[in-house]
């Protein structure tokens, strides 16, 4: 592959794919990325298990934890560049790649100013046809979630509302925000919203949230989130975790 933006995905010694860049933040220089998938299953590499193979396994979409190296030259220079943890959202199938491209466009355009504070930083969308199968991935900032402390629940829930309002103000309606997996809770009680595959980008939200997390003016998605928060907030901590899969 000639010099340019691309990513090499190392699932195992025997399973390595290189995908060209389809869309990205504006880079000043040509960059080549190498993402080494971290093994979620212990000693066996992810792609060495038939059920976990990125192309032939049963799952058409997965999010991998990976170590990313970025070279500003291709082939890579002799020194090893610094590594960083990233999330690699991998999909296969023409429709899944189309949805991923839509998500990448949102990160790259309307959500660009919210990267690193409301949504993860976005490092690129890559796609290709491998063995007659459409595949694609986006690379995002990696976050390690934390278990919510009882004394932080109020702050977390206010942040849920504020972060959701901020994406609405950017013209984005998430459309799947009630799924607790789509709001990552960080150790400092801040929130990162993820998975915009179902999002719409023409939302005109007139609502705002006050200092107590109350909604002023009507917005269906904000009201549904507030309803869930109210339901959880009145319950014991253990019951709240049960309702929202540990993320309330």
The pLDDT of residue 145 is 75
pLDDT in tens, 99-146: 999 999 999 999 999 999 999 999 999 999 999 999 999 999 999 877
From residue 122, alpha-carbon distances to 92, 155, 192, 204, 207 in Å are 20, 26, 13, 24, 27
Pair 199, 103: CB distance under 8 Å: yes
Of 76 and 30, which is predicted with more confidence? 30
pLDDT in tens, 145-199: 776 666 677 788 888 888 998 999 999 999 999 887 899 999 888 999 999 999 9
pLDDT in tens, 190-240: 999 999 999 999 998 887 767 666 667 778 898 888 888 877 655 444 544
For the chain, the structural domain boundaries read 6-141, 153-244
Q: Whole-prediction pTM value?
A: 0.81
The pLDDT of residue 47 is 55
pLDDT in tens, 84-106: 999 999 999 999 999 999 999 99
């Amino acid at each position: 592959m000639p010099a340019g933006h691309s990513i090499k995905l190392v699932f195992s010694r025997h399973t390595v794919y290189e995908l060209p860049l389809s869309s990205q933040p504006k880079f000043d220089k040509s960059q080549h990325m190498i993402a080494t998938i971290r093994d979620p299953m212990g000693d066996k590499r992810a792609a060495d298990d038939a059920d976990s193979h990125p192309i032939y396994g049963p799952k058409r979409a997965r999010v991998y934890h990976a170590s990313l190296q970025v070279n500003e030259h291709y082939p890579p220079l002799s020194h090893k560049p610094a590594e960083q943890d990233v999330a690699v959202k991998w999909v296969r199938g023409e429709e899944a790649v189309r949805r991923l491209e839509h998500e990448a466009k949102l990160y790259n355009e309307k959500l660009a100013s919210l990267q690193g504070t409301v949504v993860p930083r976005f490092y690129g969308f890559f796609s290709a046809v491998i063995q007659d199968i459409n595949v694609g991935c986006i690379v995002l900032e990696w976050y390690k979630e934390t278990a919510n402390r009882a004394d932080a629940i109020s702050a977390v829930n206010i942040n849920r509302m504020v972060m959701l309002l901020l994406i609405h103000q950017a013209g984005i309606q998430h459309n799947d925000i009630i799924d607790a997996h789509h709001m990552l809770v960080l150790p400092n009680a801040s929130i990162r919203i993820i998975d915009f595959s179902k999002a719409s980008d023409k939302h005109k939200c007139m609502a705002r949230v006050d200092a107590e997390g109350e909604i002023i003016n009507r917005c269906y998605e904000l009201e549904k989130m507030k309803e869930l928060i109210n339901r959880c907030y009145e319950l014991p901590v253990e019951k709240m975790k049960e309702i929202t899969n540990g993320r309330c």
